[in-house]
Amino acid sequence: MTSAALQSLQEIDPHYPVPRVLEFLSAPDNAAFLEYVHNDPFGCHVFPGDIPNHPLDAFLADMDEGIRQAPRIHLWSYIPTCRYRCHFCQYPTIILNPQSASSQVVFRDLVDYNIKEAKMWLARVPSLAQAEVGEFNIFGGTPSLLPEPELRRLMAFYTSHFNFGAATMRFEGEPGTLTKDYLALLKELGFTKISFGAQSFDDRIIAACGRMHSADECVETIHNARALGFDWVSVDLIYGMLGQEVDDVRYDMEKTLELELSHVVCTKLHMEEFMKRRTGVSGVRESLWQKKGLVDKNDMRFPGLGKQYQMRELVELYLADGYREHPTMYFHRQGQPAEKWKALITDLDKQYPEVAIGLGGSSKCIGAEAINITSYPLYKQALDENRLPIDETRGMSPMQRELNAFKMALSTLIPVDDRVYQRRFNGKSFFANPVIDSALATLTRKGLVTVDNHVVMLTPNGVTLVEAIINTQFPTSQFPTAQA
C-alpha 183/C-alpha 178 separation (Å) is 6
CB of 172 to ligand SAM, least distance (A): 5
C-alpha 115/C-alpha 358 separation (Å) is 9
Binding residue for ligand SAM, selected from 238, 343, 366, 468, defined by CB under 6 A? 238
Nearer to ligand SAM, 64 or 174 (CB): 174
Residue 331 phi, psi (nearest 5) = -110, 120
**Residue 232 interacting with ligand SAM (CB under 6 A):** no
- Which segments of 19-132 are extended strands (E)? 73-79, 81-82, 94-95
C-alpha 457/C-alpha 406 separation (Å) is 12
Nearer to ligand SF4, 142 or 195 (CB): 142
Number of residues that bind ligand SF4 (CB under 6 A): 11
Task: Say which entry of ligand SF4, ligand SAM, none residue 238 contacts (CB below 5 to 8 A, set by partner kind).
Answer: ligand SAM
Which residue number places its CB atom closest to ligand SAM? 197
> Helix %, strand %, coil % for the chain, to 5?
45, 20, 40
CB of 286 to ligand SAM, least distance (A): 10
Binding part of the chain for ligand SAM, among 19-27, 250-258, 267-275, 412-420 by CB under 6 A, reads 267-275
Binding residue for ligand SF4, selected from 47, 59, 76, 91, defined by CB under 6 A? 91
**Residue 88 interacting with ligand SAM (CB under 6 A):** yes
- Which segments of 259-351 are extended strands (E)? 263-268, 323-325, 330-333
Number of other CB atoms surrounding residue 416 within 10 Å: 25
For the chain, how long is the longest CA-to-CA vector?
64
CB of 483 to ligand SAM, least distance (A): 36
Which H helix or E strand runs over 21? helix 21-26
CB contact at 8 A, 457 and 426: no
**Residue 303 interacting with ligand SAM (CB under 6 A):** no
Nearer to ligand SAM, 266 or 399 (CB): 266
CB of 213 to ligand SF4, least distance (A): 9
Binding part of the chain for ligand SF4, among 88-96, 301-309, 344-352, 452-460 by CB under 6 A, reads 88-96
Task: Say which entry of ligand SAM, ligand SF4, none residue 267 contacts (CB below 5 to 8 A, set by partner kind).
Answer: ligand SAM
CB of 93 to ligand SAM, least distance (A): 8
**Residue 143 interacting with ligand SF4 (CB under 6 A):** no
**Residue 345 interacting with ligand SAM (CB under 6 A):** no
The helix-helix angle for 101-124 and 376-384 (nearest 10°) equals: 50
Q: What one-letter code names the amino acid at 359?
A: L
**Residue 230 interacting with ligand SAM (CB under 6 A):** no
Residue 123, CB half-sphere, CA atoms under 13 Å: how many?
A: 9
SS3 (DSSP) at 195:
strand
Nearer to ligand SAM, 72 or 213 (CB): 213
**Residue 217 interacting with ligand SF4 (CB under 6 A):** no
Q: What DSSP state is assigned to residue 287? A: -
Strand partners, 267: 238
Task: Say which entry of ligand SF4, ligand SAM, none residue 171 contacts (CB below 5 to 8 A, set by partner kind).
Answer: none
Task: Say which entry of ligand SF4, ligand SAM, none residue 85 contacts (CB below 5 to 8 A, set by partner kind).
Answer: ligand SF4
Nearer to ligand SAM, 88 or 302 (CB): 88
- DSSP calls for 379-432: HHHHHHTT---EEEEEE--HHHHHHHHHHHHHHTTS-EEHHHHHHHTTT--GGG
Binding residue for ligand SAM, selected from 142, 308, 362, 363, defined by CB under 6 A? 142
Which H helix or E strand runs over 370? strand 368-372
Q: Which residues bind ligand SAM (CB under 6 A)?
A: 88-89, 91, 140-142, 172, 174, 196-197, 199, 236, 238, 267, 269-270
Q: Which residues bind ligand SF4 (CB under 6 A)?
A: 82, 85-86, 89, 91, 93, 140-142, 174, 197
